[in-house]
Structure 1
Amino acid sequence: MAKDFLSSVLCIANRSEGFRKQLMQRVMKVRLLIITVLISFNAFAQDDYSLSPVEFSGYVKDVQTVFVPYGMEENWLSDNAIHNRLKLKYYYKDWLTFDIQARNRFIYGDFVKFFPDYAKYAQSSNYFLDMDYVWLNDSSAVGLSELDRLYFQLTKGDWEVTVGRQRINWGMNLVWNPNDIFNTFSYFDFEYEERPGTDAIRVKYYTSITGSAELVYKAGEEVDEMAFAGLYRFNAGSYDFQFLGGFMGKDLVLGTGYSGSIKGAAFRGELTYFKPRQIYDYTINKDGVVVSSVSADYTFSNTLYLHAGILYNSSGASGKAGQIQLLSNQELSPKMLSRGKFNLFAQTSFSITPLITANLSSIINPDDLSAFISPSITASLSDNFSTSLFGQFFMGSADTEYGHIGQIAYLRFKYSF
């Protein structure tokens, strides 16, 4: 896939820039329109806010991306994306709440131009209900909107029932979550901080202030696209523990996790066993797959933050793991959080000033010696406006997990309201 993509770039990298200039004029008009509408919404939402059962908020982000593909250092690719998120929560009764959140994106530039069917790539593919709309699909620009949260929640005593598109997070670690069987996410997709949701029914019972039991059913057109599982969580001492079981698609799942702290340092761990529900002659990993992750993090008094973790995947490769596919809309799976058998994670961050934070994170495959390194710096310019600069550097030889991909830089401006 990567070779086809790079070949198409070489073939048309020198096309005329006339259309881009026209597109830039259109983009400026779109930006002004979005900002005007959002300011109006913000002013409206703040009127009598304390007395209103309605909460309205959101943000607008402008992200400029520059990609230098491996082996094509003289052909830089760039695109720009305007992200807008609108969040509306309505407290109809003290026992009934509605939540709706819309994600709107306008993307233009080389990625759209050179990557076939970019609109399909940008759309979410793991939902049962179709609630996205592509309102622009030109040769160099794509515009789309989707509802990634749409649910109502009933609360009665210790019971809680949530129906609709929602975020179900069973993970305990901060990077790799084998227990998160409903909403797996990619660490590389840092721009989607809310993480994807799922179309599900969730019934939860609070056994205590720190304990709960829940059942979740994820909808699907076929059994292999559905999931049904239960989770029991409780506290013992300074640690939270959880156990889960059920089925996810074609696999039975059984897992456990923990999180706690010792003298200010946080420790987390997750383990999930995946066993095929049906076994055929062609079934891979007939004995099942074990995925586990452990991590620890600590924040010093001077704001220095340290975080380290390790991921184990029993079905991962011990040698060259094969290149990850960044430009893919395939649904992520907790069974395949890495291509390699082991991955190591390290992160540090530090507040240079109260308004400026620097961060450095890395992932290394110790078997094929490929690596991912991501430096970033964020400056808070006001209470609701910030700017950030991110880098994503992939290094390694051919056919390794993070090799022969290239380098990516992002410049982001974000306004929250």
Structure 2
Amino acid sequence: MNRLLILLVLAIAGSMQAQPVRLRGYVLALHAWERFAPAGTLLFGGPRTLRLELLRTRLMPTVRLPGSLRLQLAYEVNLLYASTPNLLSAPADPMRPRQMIKLSARLYHDRHVRVTHYLDRLSLRRSFTWGRLELGRQRIAWGVGRLWNPVDFFNPLAPFEFARVEKNGADAFSLRYYLGLLSDLELVYNPEHHGRWHNVAFRWRTHAGTYDLAFVGAILRRRATVGLTAAGNLGMAGARAELLWEQGRAISLVLGLDHQFAPRWYGLVEYYRNGRGAARPEAYDWLALARGEAVQVGRDELALMLQYELHPLVRLQALHLRNLNDQSFYTGFQLTWLATQAVDLVLGGWLGEGDRLSEYGLLPDVLFLRGRVYF
């Protein structure tokens, strides 16, 4: 796999030489310190404290090809250091959900260091006056919730994720057909895990009054799914809602309000009824969380966010996540400095509290510093 991936990257790079290319990307450096509760140490199989260093280079060229085609590409190289020996000895980068083939490989590893590379986007896109076609590994982001998106069938991110800022790509063929100025129909075919599953999904979007509406449906791993989303204004506040029914599971629901109270103050409240989650700690599906197939394990989640602009280039944010069933909570903060148009720095952390088997009581306390340089 490693040799195949290197040959594929070299072939793509060679094909770019004769074509108009727009190259952009970033270099990200992350320093993080994590401390687990004793129960979390037993569950995740690691030490009580852990120091991580991550250096990520992400290249995102766009290549214009003959026939009005565009090649969309995102290639990453990640160097990860862990203070605990042998923590990185497990297989690197298992195949992610909604991907058909594995396009990641390990370049180097020892007891403390692992270097991996992979293709996170690799697709051909063709735009028409009536719509758009795209084939390959691509970003398909559905949903209107600020923190949770149950109708995002293609690799949503957890709200407490701090090391990853990009959603993983999905291997798919997608067609978007414009029905009007504010309306379209999108169809997606997604083969997964070497063709073990053949997922299909659609989203119809339209507009009514001040609200954007969407109706979604899918068959995912042979499980039927339908849902609705709405986003618009409720008085002076923004209102968002997602409703999802999955065959054999309880209904998922997101309700959210956000408001710009003053030029410098912004607030948000969001409730998530997780149809895949459980109300009792002994029923939590931690394996689904580890595999990336779930972003929460609890049934009823509440989020409160408050953001203050200290300066046009400096922003302070606090986010409180609470499991309403086991009463555990996770509180995060972020101080973001936009140093230049091409550089940002983030100082942040997470503190958890709860019983030893609760959702957030098992997650680690985190302190991190993250910097990113764009080009």
TM range (shorter): 0.7 to 0.9
Distance 1:221 1:364 in 2: 34
Deviation at 1:387, TM superposition (A): 1.6
RCO higher in structure (CA 8 A, sep ≥6): 2
Distance 2:194 2:343 in 1: 44
Alpha-carbon shift at residue 307 of structure 1 (Å):
0.9
For the Cα contact (< 8 Å) 1:218–1:226, is it kept in 2?
yes
2:28 aligns with one of 61, 69, 76:
61
Does residue 60 of structure 2 align to residue 81 of structure 1?
A: no
CA distance in 1, matches of 2:206, 2:22: 32
Output one character per residue of 1:175-212: Cα deviation in whole Å (capped at 9) or x when no partner: 11111112232222233222111000001101012100
In structure 2, C-alpha distance between the alignment counterparts of 1:119 and 1:222, rounded to whole Å: 18
1:91 aligns with 2:52: no
Aligned to 1:137: 109
CA distance in 2, matches of 1:385, 1:75: 33
- Distance in structure 2 (CA, Å) of the matches to 1:53 and 1:244: 37
Unaligned runs of 5+ in 1: 1-44, 46-51, 276-284
> 1:214 and 1:340 mapped to 2: Cα distance?
31
Question: What is the CA distance between 1:60 and its match in structure 2?
Answer: 0.8
Structure 2: runs of 5 or more not aligned: 1-15, 42-46
The reply to whether residue 258 of structure 1 matches residue 219 of structure 2 is no
Q: Which residue of structure 2 lines up, in the alignment, with residue 360 of structure 1?
A: 318
Counterparts of 1:378-389 in structure 2 under 5 Å?
A: 378-389=336-347
Specify the alignment match of 1:299 in structure 2: 260
Q: Is residue 323–residue 403 contact of structure 1 (8 Å, CA) maintained in 2?
A: no
Shift of 1:137: 1.6
Aligned runs of 1:146-161 on 2, under 5 Å? 146-161=118-133
Deviations 1:125-182 (A, max 9, x none): 3221221121012111000111111101112221211100001111111211111112
Amino acid at match of 1:209: L
Give the Å deviation of 1:259.
Answer: 0.8
State which of 212, 215, 222 in structure 2 corresponds to 1:243. 215
CA contact (8 A) 1:123 1:329 kept: no
1:208 pairs with one of 164, 168, 180: 180
Percent identity between matched residues is: 22
Query: How many residue pairs end up in the alignment?
Result: 350
Q: Is the alpha carbon distance of 1:343 and 1:331 closer, same or farther for their aligned partners in structure 2, counting shifts above 3 Å?
A: same
Please give the alpha-carbon distance, in whole angstroms, between the structure 2 residues aligned to 1:311 and 1:328.
Answer: 16
Q: CA distance change for structure 1 residues 176 and 321 in 2, over 3 Å: closer, same or farther? A: farther
Q: How far apart in 2 are the matches of 1:268 and 1:327?
A: 26
Matches for 1:18-33 after TM superposition, within 5 Å: none
Output aligned runs, 1:1-400, within 5 Å: 53-71=20-38, 76-92=49-65, 95-110=68-83, 113-115=85-87, 117-120=89-92, 122-126=93-97, 127-221=99-193, 225-275=197-247, 285=248, 288-314=249-275, 316-320=277-281, 325=286, 329-333=290-294, 337-400=295-358
Rounded to whole Å, the distance in 1 between the matches of 2:131 and 2:68 is: 10
SS at structure 1 position matched to 2:192? coil
| Cα separation, partners in 2 of 1:369 and 1:329, compared to 1, 3 Å | closer
Q: Which has the larger strand fraction?
A: 2
* Equivalent residue, structure 1, for 2:3: none
Structure having the higher helix fraction is 1
Q: CA deviation at 1:224?
A: 5.6
Contact 1:77–1:110 at 8 Å: present in 2 too?
yes
Corresponding letter in the other structure for 1:136: Y
Alignment RMSD, CA only?
2.5
Amino acid at match of 2:255: V
Take 1:350 and 1:214, find their aligned partners in 2: how far apart are those partners?
A: 37
Cα deviation, 1:236-278, whole Å, max 9, x if unaligned, reads 1111111111201131011111111244421111111111xxx
TM-score (norm: length of structure 1): 0.78
